[in-house]
Amino acid sequence: MTTTGQTRAQLNRNSTACTVTSATPAPTGTGMQASKCVGGTSATGITATAEGTVTASPWTEGFNVVNGVLYLPVPETRWLLVGSAAGFAALKLAVAPAAVTLTSTMEWLEFAG
């Protein structure tokens, strides 16, 4: 049984890649082009074992591990990564929670250029 515990989630903009388990995004609907995100251990992936350099944290929120957290930004507060010089996006827990398994889901809108 999971007991209560406060922690903080962050969406970070990183200037260097993390070391991750490779996972390439897939189109969410038929007729959409394949993602231009490339999978790789220092590219698009999950479960980071080494993190890149954080340059900004556009969103951070405290939450309880029993209740979770939901981030649904209005269009005016959504942030963009434009071009390869912008870096990488990462979801991070600021402090590791004790003995709990967490699952996350993220959806990205990719504009082809």
What is the pTM assigned to this prediction? 0.66
Cβ 96 vs Cβ 21: under 8 Å:
no
Cβ 91 vs Cβ 9: under 8 Å:
yes
Per-residue tokens: 100: 């709990």
Q: Does residue 102 carry a pLDDT above 60?
A: yes
pLDDT band of 34, cuts 50, 70, 90: low
The residue type of 26 is: A
Domains of the chain by residue range: 6-93
4: nearest Cα among 93, 99, 70, 71: 99
pLDDT in tens, 14-32: 877 777 777 777 766 777 6
Q: Does residue 112 carry a pLDDT above 70?
A: no
N residues, the chain: 113
